[in-house]
Chains A and B, each alone.
Chain A
Amino acid sequence: DADVTQTPRNRITKTGKRIMLECSQTKGHDRMYWYRQDPGLGLRLIYYSFDVKDINKGEISDGYSVSRQAQAKFSLSLESAIPNQTALYFCATSDLRRGRTSTGELFFGEGSRLTVL
């Protein structure tokens, strides 16, 4: 089955370290997103990309950067991790159907749990 795959699934790191979370998808979708989930705060958008050459900031982009290496790959980086970036991170994709109405549905990866000590 076509899927959205995140690596690593779990990571513990120390303050100040650089961390990269990777996302790859076999769904053939153009749009890719990075969300952060914290208890009681829901899902907050960090960055999104509607095309390989299109990168946009979301609600909480400070302290994060992204790279869209290919249509199927979208990486999230924390240049210098801090404890309040401890969270569950989700990559998601959605389908852009040129000339047709997109469903708008987000397909999430399994999540990457990051702990910054």
Chain B
Amino acid sequence: GENVEQHPSTLSVQEGDSAVIKCTYSDSASNYFPWYKQELGKRPQLIIDIRSNVGEKKDQRIAVTLNKTAKHFSLHITETQPEDSAVYFCAASIGGTYKYIFGTGTRLKVLA
């Protein structure tokens, strides 16, 4: 079945450094790749997404890159701040549907 692998499971960075989280997906028909941020005790919220017809998308300090050939996509956070500390989930659509398979999450800690 469809699968999304996410690495690393935990990531600690110094404030101001960059953080990169990587995901691979198995369904070559996937065409939508969102990233969600879940702060402690809160609900997941979309922070950025990318569609398969685009290779990169940026929104201020966050960016997502997509390599369809290799079936992997990555989240890049630059100039990290303490408020970036959270669990981040990648996801991939199942084919062209609005069903999504989530990765297992990355706990990011930004050290002051």
Chain A residues close to B by CB (< 8 Å): 31, 35, 40-45, 48, 50, 58-59, 90, 94, 96, 102, 104-106, 108-111
Contact = CB atoms under 8 A, between A and B. Distances in A.
Contacts, number: 50
Nearest to B44: A108
Given A59-B101, A105-B49, A43 B89 contact: yes
Contacts of A40: 9, 104-105
Contacts of A96: 98
B100 A106 contact: yes
A108 B43 contact: yes
Given A31-B98, A43-B89, A111 B103 contact: no
B43 A45 contact: no
A42 B43 contact: no
Contacts of A111: 43
Contacts of A41: 104
Nearest to B9: A40
Nearest to B6: A42
A88 to B, nearest CB: 10
A6 B18 CA distance: 36
B98 A102 contact: yes
A101 to B, nearest CB: 9
A58 B1 CA distance: 12
Contact of A48 (B6, B49, B89, B99): B99
